[in-house]
Amino acid sequence: MPSHSIDPVIAIATAPGRGAVGIVRLSGARLHGFAHHLLGKALQPRMATYLPFPDAQQQAIDHGLALYFPAPHSYTGEDVLELQAHGGPVVLQLLLARCLQAASESNPATGQAWLPGLRLAEPGEFTQRAFLNDKMDLAQAEAVADLIDASTESAARSASLSLSGAFSAEIHTLLEQLIHLRMLVEATLDFPEEDVDFLEAANAQGQIHTLQTQLQTVLQRARQGALLREGIHIVIAGQPNAGKSSLLNALAGAELAIVTPIAGTTRDKVQQTIQIEGIPLHIIDTAGLRHSDDVVEQIGVERAWQEIAKADAILFLHDLSRQHDSSYQQADADIAARLYQQADARPPVIHVWNKLDLIAAPAISTEDPAQEPALLCISAQTHQGLDALRQQLLTIAGWQAMPEGVFAARTRHLQALHEVAQHLQNADDHLQSPLPALDLLAEELRLGQIALGQITGEFTPDDLLGVIFSKFCIGK
């Protein structure tokens, strides 16, 4: 956090726009006297007081509730003052301006400003102060933002689980066992003539294997939580008039994309987030893939390929009504060849045959160079086969329901857990070698401890903290 973090801060803590209630929040030191000066009345800690909020001329800006939370028993661990008024933007801006004005006014008793240095809070600064004051660890702080940003009920529940400390508790359990094992190994470095026998007696290898098993359980729950938080991006691709826009509309349950019999109607991407069993899937409809002399359509096709390159999965949509058209089959084959020429880590391709409602008995014959799973036949018009497609999308996403719940996890959490797994594997390899190098074994355990500590913030660099909290909303 920057050096001015000791300054008192203020922000409107409710979302922009009109609402029944709006909150102006302050955090800093010695707010009790400032609150008395601002409001003309002493506030009792943790008790809501209904009173007018006066301006500089002692005319009421509004009437509402004032709450004072003395340090350290507050959200940030500092003194916190909240003014709860009616949620009009003008009212809240007037309150904000009045607080800034009152902060600079002179205290007759000291001759100094009532609240010197009061400034507008930066994004996430209230929660960042809570983290720095040990009110929560970094994983819990991130869960605050995840709970606010949750797009599904399942995502909200997983964020709430992490905010309660469940994810952090699992990490701390792993840390304690890893530290114990590390101390055991480093203690043997003082007695090199007995090191191997000592580690065997302490079952060091068994402890590593137990750690690896527990780590995989945490990693699996975290991976599912990251899926709930971020979802996956799925691109619908195919030739013009294959029914891509109709499929998007069918999956979304709304007429989002224009559908006409005219080839090339979709010229730019149309995106919608849908939920399947609580998993957010970001579905992107793209322009039909074909050669065109139309400059605008060419741009749309190029953008389609750009989206395909970034996708987590691709729905390659085919037209059953044209399955016997040799030119259509050749064009599909050309598209498939380009799909499989993408980067080595290309996304999975789901082949879907649409317009099942237009034919009596589909007789699909296609050669798939990647030997993908069985093809799906659907009708975007009648919704036949859509349930099977939804389940296939969940399978591609890697979703597995966890009876004990999942944690709201981020990419950095998964990277850290994978790093720990690698260090544990290296440690196990060193321990199993004919002549164990205990110094290397101890170093791998130390690096694993650091990687685990990055999740909860024990070893997190300041620049990473800046990136994390800058993505929070103002006032939180």
**Would you say 287 and 303 are in contact if contact means Cβ atoms under 8 Å apart?**
yes
Task: Find where tokens 């559908």 sit.
Answer: 259
- Burial call 335-364: b when 16+ CB within 10 Å, e when fewer: bbeebeeeeeeebbbbbbbbbbeeeeeeee
As given in the structure block, the two tokens for residue 354 are 């649409």
> Packing angle between helix 204-230 and helix 166-188, nearest 10 degrees?
150
286 belongs to an annotated ligand binding site? yes
436 belongs to an annotated ligand binding site? no
Phi then psi dihedrals of residue 124, to 5 deg: 75, 10
CA atoms within 13 A on the CB side of 156: 5
471 belongs to an annotated ligand binding site? no
217 belongs to an annotated ligand binding site? no
What's the burial of 411, exposed, middle or buried (CB within 10 Å: 0-12/13-18/19+)?
exposed
CA distance readout (Å), 265 to 235, 243, 244, 270, 279: 17, 11, 11, 12, 30
Give dist(CA 351, CA 370) in Å, integer.
11
**Would you say 295 and 303 are in contact if contact means Cβ atoms under 8 Å apart?**
no
As given in the structure block, the two tokens for residue 85 are 């008024």
264 belongs to an annotated ligand binding site? yes
Q: Is residue 11 classed as helix, strand or coil in its secondary structure? A: strand
- DSSP element (H, E) containing 23: strand 19-28
82 belongs to an annotated ligand binding site? yes
245 belongs to an annotated ligand binding site? yes
261 belongs to an annotated ligand binding site? yes
Phi then psi dihedrals of residue 104, to 5 deg: -90, -5
266 belongs to an annotated ligand binding site? yes
135 belongs to an annotated ligand binding site? yes
CA distance readout (Å), 172 to 143, 178, 464: 17, 10, 21
88 belongs to an annotated ligand binding site? no
Strand bridging mode 349-354 / 376-377: parallel
401 belongs to an annotated ligand binding site? no
Q: Is residue 209 classed as helix, strand or coil in its secondary structure? A: helix
DSSP code at position 113: B
**Would you say 346 and 396 are in contact if contact means Cβ atoms under 8 Å apart?**
no
Q: Is residue 269 classed as helix, strand or coil in its secondary structure? A: coil
Task: Find where tokens 């004005």 sit.
Answer: 101
- DSSP element (H, E) containing 89: helix 89-104
User: Minimal CA–CA distance to 311: which of 379, 236, 257, 404?
Assistant: 236
- Which ranges in 52-151 belong to alpha helices (H)? 89-104, 125-132, 138-149
288 belongs to an annotated ligand binding site? yes
Please state the residue numbers annotated as binding site for Mg(2+): 245, 266
Please state the residue numbers annotated as binding site for GTP: 241-246, 260-266, 285-288
Please state the residue numbers annotated as binding site for K(+): 241, 260, 262, 265
Please state the residue numbers annotated as binding site for (6S)-5-formyl-5,6,7,8-tetrahydrofolate: 25, 82, 135, 476
Please state the residue numbers annotated as binding site: 25, 82, 135, 241-246, 260-266, 285-288, 476
